[in-house]
Amino acid sequence: MPSLAVKLYSIFFKFQQRYMLHNLTQNPVHAVDPFGITSRREESTAASNPSFYEGVATKDIHIDPFSSLCIRIFLPATVVNFDPTTIIEDKSKDGAFIYSGYSPQAGTKHKKLPVVLQFHGGAFVGGSNDSVRNDAFCRRIANLCDVIVVAVGYRLAPESRYPAAFDDGLKVLNWLAKEANLAECGKWMGNGNGRRRADAHVFDGFGASMAEPWLAAHGDPSRCVLLGVSSGANIADYVARKAVEAGKLLDPVKVVAQVLMYPFFIGSNPTASEIKLANSYFYDKSVCMQTWKLFLPEEKFDLDHPAANPLIPGREPPLKFMPPTLTVVAEQDWMRDRAIAYSEELRRANIDAPLLEYKDAVHEFATLDVLLQTPQAQACAEDIAIWVKKYISLRGHEFSY
């Protein structure tokens, strides 16, 4: 069973959730807000730091002028020979501060790293890509896997109902492909003789470089992994399906694997765990039902909606085309059975789809702020890193269970 501290914090957490949902219900959004929001006031956020704090540099980018969709990039210090005792500041001639963060040097060959697209949890109505807990988790993944993590700040419900969050996930994948193509174009821009230039960039009408410099210098989109936490796992699975359908249209981006951490799946026919653990820790079934009502379209509310239930018949593409999928479940999570069933269906379709189940664990045991430093949370991140390296290693499949 979970510890007494976890049980007590779960009570407090549920109170917070019910208070937030009460406020959202009492102040209904009568019109869909296309711009939307990506975080709430109640969420503690961590400021970005482009100067390799704790071995990882971060920056925030607003990538869609028509919505609040944004990303946070986590770049591990392994891309440079960085001395943490040295502080380097870039200043103008008059001494005014301009920028003190990491900037790739032009004309040099850079280390390339795989890219992990991460989708945070929060039951579609809460959480954010720049929250304290998500920032700490993404730093851990960036360090353990030696990857660039792109945490997606998708629009939240009920201000932006389905399919806003799912569209945002796909939009970021397409943005990653666009950035990769812009970076490649920049490499070949020269003085007309067709020679390749490492310091060239593609510029927009205002003279600003359109290719994101960290990704252009260090990102390898041909080794892209999707990682979803709770409700973010539903988004990751949707994006994986769309990537399969797009095929070579996404080149050079290739989704080589996905990780679904305690997916936020549900259905109209309850499973054994949904009945037995309905009042489980942190996210009980009654709270989650409220969030689904705030997320799904009011006129088409159905627990067998494709966004909620991955096992409904007729979903495209066929499971045999899905990427390798690692599923993480918690023993005390009422949503566990449906995630296990989905993993089993993937294995029946001959997909590499291992299942990691953690004893006495609760929903979001590896990503909640109060549980991030537990041995179980650390072990889960390390287990994910071992499996992910199987598909992002350039030397082959030397990492495996």
The catalytic site residues sit at: 230, 333, 363
Residue 276 host element (H or E): helix 272-276
Among 200, 251, 191, which Cα is nearest to 224's?
A: 251
Cα 30 off chain centre by: 29
Distance CA 135, CA 86 (A): 24
Distance CA 55, CA 60 (A): 17
DSSP string computed for 293-321: HHHS-GGG--TTSTTT-TT-TT-SS-GGG
Handedness of CA 78, 79, 83, 85 (dihedral sign): negative
Distance CA 392, CA 401 (A): 15
Among 220, 253, 259, which Cα is nearest to 236's?
A: 259
Residue 153 · residue 130 · CB < 8 Å: yes
Q: How far is residue 224 from each of residues 93, 110, 343, measured CA to CA in Å?
A: 41, 18, 20
Q: Side chain identity at 163, as an amino acid letter?
A: P
Distance CA 101, CA 58 (A): 9
Among 129, 155, 156, 123, which Cα is nearest to 17's?
A: 123
Distance CA 266, CA 345 (A): 16
Q: How long a stretch of residues is the chain?
A: 401
Distance CA 126, CA 39 (A): 7
